[in-house]
Structure 1
Amino acid sequence: MNAVLSPAPCPSTFRLLTSEERQASMHATLACGWNGSEDVWIFGYGSLIWRPEFDHAEQRLGLVRGYHRSLCLWSRINRGTPENPGLVFGLDRGGACRGMVFRLRSDDVAMVFPALWEREMASGAYLPRWLRCETVHGDVRALVFVMDRDSPSYAGQLASDAVLAAVRNGIGKYGRCVEYVASTARALREHGIADHRLERIVHQLAE
C-alpha cells in the first residue's frame, strides 16, 4: 500500500479572475499576436494533448525552447481543493518541451478562445505568450501558456516526496490528480514524446 505523505505548504492567497479580467487578458493576447484573419496555433504540453476540447484543422508534434514541462502549479479546483491542493503541469523556465501544436481555423477563434481562457486562465497563473514552435513541417508561431512565477499558485521546485504527496492526495472537480498525471504520461508515450522526468514520477507513484 502506498504511504500517504503530507504535501508541502501551499500559499493560502488565491482568487479566480473575474470574467472581465479574463476577457481583457484574452483580447490583449489576441491584439498582440493575431491579425484577425490567419489560423492560430495553440501549443499543448499537458492535458491539452489528450483533451483539447476544441475542433482543430491540424495537429503536429512540436518543440518549444526555453521552457520545460513541470508539476509546478498548485491546483485548488480542477485536481485538488484549497485545503488539499494537487499539482498540475506548467511550463517553467529553462530547457525545452515537446508537445502537440494544434491549428485552429481563424473562423473558430471567437468561439474557442473564451472557453480556452476559462479553462487555462481561471486563476491567471499562466502567462499567455506567442512563441516559436518547431515542427517537422516548419516553424509556427503558437500561443503558449507559460508559468507565471509571481503567481501564488506557483509551487516552484518541490522535493520529490512533496510532489508525490500532492499528486497522490489531490482530488478536484475533474477527478484525481494521479489520473491526470498518468493520462499525460500515457499521451506523451502514444505520440512518441520522451519525458524521463515524468516517467520517473509515474514509476514512483506506482510503487
Structure 2
Amino acid sequence: MEGTTDFWVFGYGSLMWRPGFDYLEREPARAFGLRRSLCVRSQVHRGTPERPGLVLGLDRGGSCRGLAYRVRGNDHGKVMAYLRARELVTNVYTERIVPIRLERGERVPAVTYVVDRMHGQYAGALSAEAAVEAIHGAVGGSGPNEDYVFNTLEHLHVMRIRDRWLEQVAEGLRLRLDAPQVRAAS
C-alpha cells in the first residue's frame, strides 16, 4: 500500500468525527465480519488500572458501519505513523487490512484497528448490563466514561448510524445517572 497509490482507512469510533489526518474523500462504508463493541478496558483515557472503564474496539462477528477515508499515497508514511501512535499505545489493537464496501458499492481494502482478543485489556462480549456496570463511575484522563458513550452515540446519530446495543448501554447509564443517590447517615 505504500508509495504513490492512494489507500483507505476505516473508522468505526472517534476516527469518524476526529480523524486527525488529511484525506482526499470520506464515504460511509461497512466492514463485514467485524462489529463495533465496548470491549476494551480503558486504564488511561476513561478509567484507571484500579477502576477501568470501557472504550470501543472492532471485534469479530456481525458487521460495522463507519466511515472510510481515501488518503493520498504520498501521505502514507505520515498518516500511518499518526494512526499507529494513536491506536497502538497499549497494543490492545492490531493493525489490519480488511475489505470494506463503500456506500457506492465498491469494495476496497482499508487499514483499520481490530481488538486483540488475547490482550489483557480485552473485556470480551459483554451484555449491555455488564457494560453499564463497568462504565458507570469510571473516570480517566479524558474524563468520565459515561461522557465517552454519550458522545459516541451522539456522533453516530448525526451520521445516521444506528447501534442498538450501544443505545441500550446509554439508556442503562441514563437510568443510573438519573437515579437518586443514597447518602450514608452521618
Give the alignment's TM-score, normalised by structure 1.
Answer: 0.79
| Matched residue type, 1:168 | H
Q: In the alignment, does 2:57 pair up with 1:90?
A: yes
List aligned pairs for 1:110-189, cutoff 5 A.
110-137=77-104, 138-189=106-157
| Matched residue type, 1:156 | G
Equivalent residue of 2:65, what SS? strand
Contact 1:63 1:96 in 2 (8 A): yes
Percent of matched pairs sharing the same residue: 40
Deviation of 1:133 after TM superposition, in Å, equals 0.7
- Alpha-carbon distance in 1 for matches of 2:85, 2:2: 22
1:59: which partner in 2? 26
| Matched residue type, 2:86 | R
Contact 1:41 1:103 in 2 (8 A): yes
Deviation of 1:119 after TM superposition, in Å, equals 1.2
RMSD: 1.4
Q: In the alignment, does 2:172 pair up with 1:204?
A: yes
Give the alignment's TM-score, normalised by structure 2.
Answer: 0.88
Deviation of 1:66 after TM superposition, in Å, equals 0.3
- Alpha-carbon distance in 1 for matches of 2:2, 2:23: 19
- The structure richer in strand per residue is 2
List aligned pairs for 1:1-80, cutoff 5 A.
34-80=1-47
- The number of equivalent residue pairs is 174
Deviation of 1:136 after TM superposition, in Å, equals 2.3
Contact 1:62 1:98 in 2 (8 A): yes
Contact 1:50 1:184 in 2 (8 A): no
Structure 2's unaligned 5+ residue stretches are 176-186
2:158: which partner in 1? 190
Contact 1:50 1:183 in 2 (8 A): no
- Alpha-carbon distance in 2 for matches of 1:114, 1:104: 13
Deviation of 1:94 after TM superposition, in Å, equals 0.8
Q: In the alignment, does 2:74 pair up with 1:107?
A: yes
Structure with the larger RCO, 1 or 2 (CA within 8 Å, 6+ apart)? 1
Which ranges of 4 or more aligned residues in structure 1 deviate by more than 4 Å? none
- Alpha-carbon distance in 2 for matches of 1:158, 1:79: 17
